[in-house]
C-alpha cells in the first residue's frame, strides 16, 4: 500500500523512491509512433535524474541518437501509478556509466562498459501525474460495494500532478 502521508507531503520524493524500487518502467521514444519499451531505471538520488542502459542499434537507441527530446515514462504497480514526462538524451559520461554498472547490466553488454552497442540514456523528469492508494484488497471491495449502494464513485486513493 502506498504511503498517502508521503504522497501529500513530498510526492516528488515518493515518486523517485517508487521508481527506484521497481525493476522496470515503460519508456517512450521521441518518435511518438514508436511503442513504449520496458527499461530498468537507474535513479540518481541527488539529482532526480533517471538513467537507462540501452543499445544504440535498437529502435529506441536510434531514435534518441537521431532526435533527442520529450518522452513519457510510465510506472505501474498495484497501489502506485505514475506517468512522467521529461527530456530523454544520450549520455556519455563515464562516471555515470560506472556509478550504475552492475552484474545485471554487465550481462547485456559482452564488451563491458566499453561495448560498442552500449548507450546510456538520460531522462530528466519535468512533471508527472501520480495516483496512490492505501487500500487493501478487502478495502477496495468494500469501497466498491458501498459506492454501488450509494450510487457514487468509490474512494480508492488520491491523485495529483506534480512538477519535478
pLDDT tops 70 at residue 1:
yes
By the 8 A CB rule, do 20 and 12 touch? no
Residue 76: per-residue pLDDT? 96
pLDDT tens digits, 20-67: 999 999 999 999 999 999 999 999 999 999 999 999 999 999 999 999
Please choose, from the candidates 16, 20, 14, the residue with its C-alpha nearest in 3D space to the C-alpha of residue 2: 14
By the 8 A CB rule, do 4 and 132 touch? yes
Percentage of the chain lying above the pLDDT 90 cut: 81
Burial, 40: exposed, middle or buried (Cβ in 10 Å; 0-12, 13-18, 19+)? middle
**Furthest-apart CA atoms within the chain: distance in Å:** 62
Give the span between the Cα atoms of 32 and 158, in whole angstroms.
29
Q: Which H or E run contains 28? A: none
The second-level CATH assignment, the architecture, of 4-163 is Roll (2.30)
- With cut-offs at 50, 70 and 90, classify the pLDDT of residue 114: very high
92's grid cell: 556519455
> For the chain, what are the domain ranges?
4-163
Length of the chain: 164
pTM exceeds 0.85 for this model: yes
Burial, 119: exposed, middle or buried (Cβ in 10 Å; 0-12, 13-18, 19+)? buried
Amino acid at each position: 500500500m502506498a504511503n498517502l502521508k508521503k504522497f501529500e507531503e513530498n510526492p516528488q520524493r515518493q515518486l523517485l523512491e517508487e521508481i527506484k524500487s521497481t525493476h522496470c518502467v515503460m519508456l517512450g521514444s521521441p518518435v511518438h509512433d514508436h511503442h513504449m519499451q520496458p527499461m530498468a531505471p537507474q535513479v540518481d538520488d541527488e539529482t532526480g535524474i533517471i538513467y537507462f542502459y540501452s543499445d544504440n542499434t535498437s529502435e529506441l537507441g536510434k531514435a534518441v541518437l537521431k532526435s533527442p527530446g520529450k518522452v513519457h515514462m510510465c510506472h505501474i504497480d498495484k497501489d502506485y501509478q505514475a506517468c512522467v514526462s521529461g527530456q530523454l538524451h544520450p549520455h556519455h559520461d563515464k562516471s555515470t556509466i560506472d556509478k550504475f554498472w552492475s552484474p545485471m547490466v554487465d550481462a547485456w553488454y559482452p564488451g563491458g562498459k566499453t561495448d560498442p552497442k552500449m548507450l546510456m540514456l538520460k531522462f530528466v523528469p519535468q512533471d508527472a501525474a501520480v495516483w496512490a492508494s492505501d487500500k487493501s484488497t478487502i478495502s477496495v471491495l468494500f469501497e466498491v460495494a458501498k459506492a454501488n449502494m450509494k450510487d457514487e464513485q468509490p474512494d480508492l486513493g488520491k491523485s495529483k500532478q506534480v512538477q519535478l
